[in-house]
Amino acid sequence: MALLEVRDLSLGYDGIPIVSGLNFSVSEGDYLCIVGENGSGKTTLMKTLLHLQQPLSGSIETGDGLKANEIGYLPQSTIVQKDFPASVYEIVLSGCQARGGRRFFYSAQEKQLAQENMEKMGITSLKDRCYRELSGGQQQRVLLARALCASRKILLLDEPVTGLDPVVSADLYALVEELNQQKLTIIMISHDIEAALRYASHILHISDHIFFGTKEEYLNSKAGRSFTAAAKEAENG
Amino acid sequence: MDKFFAYLNYPFVRYALIVGILVALCSSLLGVTLVLKRFSYIGDGLSHVAFGAMAVAAVLNLTNRMIIVLPVTVLCAVWLLKGSANTKIKGDAAIGMVSVSALAFGYLLLNVFSKSANISGDVCSTLFGSTSILTLTKWEVWLCIVLSVLVVSVFILFYNKIFAVTFDENFSRAAGVNADLYNMMIAVITAVIIVLAMNLVGSLLISALIIFPALSAMRLFGSFKKVTIASAVFSVAAAFCGMAVSIIAGTPVGSTIVAADALVFMVCCAVSYARKGRLL
């Protein structure tokens, strides 16, 4: 059984489908990149996987001991967060919010976990700094540490490198790859097809024709060839 | 100063100080969340609703006005928050609509039905709080104490969840936290605080009590905990000083408190600029 098994999923708003006939599965240790044009439904799919939105039809099953809420999530940053007065530690610790159940305060164990994940992301020295004063790359590391507090198994990243410069982006990709090598499953929405092809093990391409398969299969498929060609053209032209 | 201590011998002055400090404390705690969630105007809208309800209570000649004002305001808070999820009328427009119509109907009712000889005086004191804080009954003081204790303890118990939901609602939802419940809780508490604060500063100036301390604290501090604590300290200090000044100098209570809040804000701004310019 895979971690996530998606069958015949259709997504949309107010009963009008944007995407239908989605079928894919994610196993432990996979690195899945979801690519596609703007408006193709990538973000809607992400929201549905996170149970923020109901699918129109179809099913999402979790297996291998993964509970529905055990998904770490790295969202795109919101306007509210731009001037939010919160320290790095407070934000990372808030990743543990669902672990407590009905408990009101964080346990020593959860504080320990937050500490460990800050170390992992190399942001321990920023612990008491204010989030809004950090650089874009540092902010992403903070949110990544928070996501790691929420899940040990699977991580969803929504356009993680938007607004970052190339050096910092490469840094972030390297960090995610490292996590993936530690058996953490990664699902990433990306515009950056080149990076997707470099790091991912599987590709889900959402457009008129939906493609799902390994990276090698994608490179040989029609969808893959036309998309990579278009991306190259855009880069050169 | 002596004059101030002499006044403390009067029970109504002590009541006013107790209620004033409690209301300032509660409003500043919630203020941080409301400002950060871009809900500042819910406070303003609800205060106008409370004014409308107060007018209804006055026309019905109820001695205990809280019986109408509190439930109506809480209901409106719940409705406004539900409404902001509903896209038919967008959040800010819904608040604007509710607040002006409550204000208009309230004034209309008072004008048409009130038997009082001094209508504009009544309206003025409901809007600006003027003297009603000095006419609090023992029952109202106890109600205020009980509700304040409730608000503060709910805030402390759910502090971590309130922070998480304020910072990133979607993340909380994805993690399985019932964000709607916490939003609703914030709205209900806001309504309670507003009704309490009506006696102190009147319905027009309540927003100041909610917004100013939070903004002042946010100028100086960078963590949510520090901002919350500083906001509470600023608010209580401003309320105490404002009331002391108003007792000694005979100025209107509400506007003096708000003026003190504004002063604190300006000082905080100045300190923050000076810090940035490496002067401090």
Per residue, what are the HEC states of A47-80?
HHHCCCCCCCEEEEEECCCCCCCCEEEECCCCHH
| Tokens read off for B108 | 């209309």
Give the closest-approach CA distance of A76 to chain B in angstroms: 10
Q: Spell out the SS3 assignment of A13-27.
A: ECCEEEEEEEEEEEC
Joined tokens for residue B159: 């502090």
pTM: 0.85
User: Cβ contact (<8 Å) for A91 and B167?
Assistant: yes
Tokens of A183: 């058996």
When CB atoms are compared, the residue of B160, B171, B227 closest to A85 is B227
The maximal CA–CA distance of chain B, rounded, in angstroms, is 61
Quick: pLDDT tens for A3-31. Answer: 888 888 888 877 788 888 888 888 888 99
Q: Which residue in chain B is spatially nearest to A50 when comparing CA positions?
A: B174
Least Cα separation, residue B165 to chain A (angstroms): 9
| Shortest distance, CA A226 to any CA of chain B (angstroms) | 35
Q: Residue B218 is nearest to which of A50, A85, A146, comparing CB atoms? A: A85
A111 or A54, greater pLDDT = A111
pLDDT at position B129, please? 66
Q: Which of A86, A87, A150 sits opposite B175 (nearest CB)?
A: A150
Does B168 contact A78 at a Cβ distance shorter than 8 Å? Answer: yes
Rounded to whole angstroms, how far apart are CA atoms A93 and A172?
21
Q: Is B227 buried (19+), middle (13-18) or exposed (0-12) by CB count in 10 A?
A: buried
> CB neighbours (10 Å) of residue A15?
6
A178 CB neighbour count, 10 Å cutoff: 11
Q: Closest partner residue to A105 among B36, B160, B168, by Cβ? A: B160
Helix, strand, coil share (%) of chain A residues, nearest 5: 40, 25, 35
Burial of residue B89 (number of CB atoms within 10 Å: 0-12, 13-18, 19+): middle
Mind listing the pLDDT tens digit for each residue in B94-147? 778 888 898 898 888 888 876 666 777 777 777 776 555 667 778 878 888 998
Q: In this complex, which of A86, A146, A150 lies closest to B223 when CB atoms are compared?
A: A86
Q: Round to whole Å and give the CA distance between A155 and A140.
A: 13
Q: Report which of A167, A175, A152, A188 is spatially closest to residue A76, judged by C-alpha positions.
A: A188
Contact A86 B218 (CB under 8 A): no
Predicted confidence (pLDDT) per residue in A174-201, tens digit: 889 988 998 889 999 988 788 888 888 8
- Contacts with A62 (C-beta within 8 Å, 6 or more apart), sequence order: A3, A4, A5, A68
Chain B residues 128-187 within an 8 A CB cutoff of chain A: 157-158, 160-161, 163-164, 166-168, 170-177
Mutation site for A-interface testing, chosen from B160, B182, B226, B228 by largest number of A Cβ within 10 Å: B160
CA angle A190, A142, A183 (to 5 degrees): 60
**Chain B interface, mutation test: which of A53, A62, A97, A148, most B Cβ atoms within 10 Å?**
A97
What pLDDT was estimated at residue B236? Answer: 95
The Cα-based distances of B233 to A83, A128, B145, B269 in angstroms read 22, 21, 18, 17
Q: What is the pLDDT of residues A96-152, one digit of tens each?
A: 887 766 778 888 888 998 999 898 888 889 888 999 888 888 898 999 999 988 887
Domain count, chain B: 1
Residue A86: pLDDT above 70? yes
Domain interval for residue B105? 2-206
Kindly indicate the confidence band of residue B2, based on its pLDDT and cuts at 50, 70 and 90: confident
B170 and A129 within 8 Å at the Cβ level: the answer is no
Interface of A to B at Cβ within 8 Å reads: 50-52, 68-69, 71, 73, 75, 78, 80-81, 83-87, 90-91, 93-95, 97-98, 104-106, 128-133, 146, 150
pLDDT band with cut points at 50, 70 and 90 for residue B91: low
For residue B84, is pLDDT > 70?
no
DSSP character string of A165-191: -HHHHHHHHHHHHHHHHTT-EEEEE-S
CA B131 centroid distance within chain: 17
Contacts of A91 in chain B (CB under 8 A): 167
Q: Nearest-CA neighbor of B223 among A233, A165, A91, A85?
A: A85
Residues of A in contact with B158 (CB under 8 A): 104
Cβ of A237: how many Cβ atoms within 10 Å? 5
Asked whether residue B240 carries a pLDDT value surpassing 60, the answer given is yes
Distance, in angstroms, between A223 CA and closest chain B CA? Answer: 31
Which of the residue ranges A65-69, A142-146, B5-9 has the most confident prediction, judged by mean pLDDT? A142-146
Confidence of residue B85 (pLDDT cuts 50, 70, 90): low
CATH code, residues A1-70+154-188+200-229: 3.40.50.300
User: In chain A, whose CA is at the least distance from the CA of B221?
Assistant: A85
Look at residue A33 and give its three-state secondary structure.
strand
CB A77 within 8 A of CB B168: no
Contact A33, A199 (CB under 8 A): yes
Asked whether the predicted pLDDT for residue A237 surpasses 70, the reply is: no
Q: What's at B136, amino acid-wise?
A: L
Residue A36 has a pLDDT of: 83
Among all chains, which residue has been given the structure tokens 């600023």? B234
Query: Which residues in chain A are classed under CATH 3.40.50.300?
Result: 1-70+154-188+200-229
Q: What is the pLDDT of residue B115?
A: 67
In this prediction, residue B278 carries a pLDDT of 61
User: What 3-state DSSP class applies to B95?
Assistant: helix
- Give, as one character, the DSSP assignment of residue B250: -
Q: Would B224 be classed as within a structural domain?
A: no
Q: Tokens 């356009």 — which residue?
A: A159
Report the C-alpha gap between B111 and B275 in whole angstroms: 52
How high is the pLDDT of residue B116? 67
CATH of the domain at B7: 1.10.3470.10
Average pLDDT of chain A, as a whole number: 84
3-state secondary structure B94-112: HHHHHHHHHHHHHHHHHHH
The verdict on residue B115 lying in a domain is yes
List the single residue in B38, B163, B176 with the smallest CB-CB distance to A94: B163
As beta bridge partners, residue A33 has A188, A203
| Amino acid B270: pLDDT | 92
* Three-state DSSP state, A211: strand
Residue B250 located in a structural domain = no
Query: What letter does residue A209 receive in the DSSP assignment?
Result: S
Q: Which chain A positions have a beta carbon within 8 Å of B224's beta carbon?
A: 84-87, 90
* Residue A69: other Cβ atoms inside 10 A: 17
CA distance B168 to chain A (A): 8
Distance CA A7, CA A52 (A): 18
Q: How confident is the model at residue B268 (pLDDT cuts 50, 70, 90)?
A: very high
